[in-house]
């Protein structure tokens, strides 16, 4: 067996959980996105989103969290390779990874507005009656 194989699905899941816990503990942006995603999901349940709307929302939240995790991995790898030395390649790589997170966050805002705006308007008019 290779030294990089875990041997069991349980160990693999343990490592994955440990990675998410580490990101929550050490990455401010990931922590903010995670907590905000939970809040948005609870709000969607309160506004009675359909199963399809919830599925789209979950995929959207997951896309942002995934982008944050990949950005963190890229930054860690670059920092490990370059250490404290300045490199234009390192800077460009980190900037591009951060740009990917920004694009994902912006598109998630559009999806959020498309999902939430009709529900909020409907809720508002129900309250006004």
- Assess whether 75 carries a catalytic annotation: no
Q: How far apart are CA 7 and CA 80, in angstroms?
A: 27
- Kindly list the distances between the CA atom of residue 8 and the CA atoms of 2, 16, 18, 76, 80, in Å, as whole numbers in the listed order: 13, 13, 16, 27, 29
Per the residue annotation, which of 49, 68, 101, 108 is the catalytic one? 68
Please, are residues 62 and 35 in contact by the beta-carbon 8 Å criterion? no
Q: Tell me which residues are annotated as active site.
A: 68
């Amino acid at each position: 067996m290779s030294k990089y194989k875990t041997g069991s699905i349980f160990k693999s899941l343990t490592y994955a959980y440990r990675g998410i816990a580490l990101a929550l503990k050490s990455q401010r942006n990931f922590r903010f996105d995670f907590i905000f995603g939970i809040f948005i999901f609870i709000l969607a349940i309160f506004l009675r989103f359909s199963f399809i709307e919830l599925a789209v929302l979950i995929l959207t939240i997951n896309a942002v969290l995934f982008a944050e995790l990949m950005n963190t991995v890229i930054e860690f790898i670059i920092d490990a390779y370059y250490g404290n030395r300045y490199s234009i390649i390192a800077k460009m790589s980190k900037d591009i990874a951060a740009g990917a997170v920004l694009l994902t966050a912006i598109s998630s805002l559009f999806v959020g507005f498309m999902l939430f705006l009709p529900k909020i308007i409907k809720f508002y008019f129900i309250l006004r009656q």
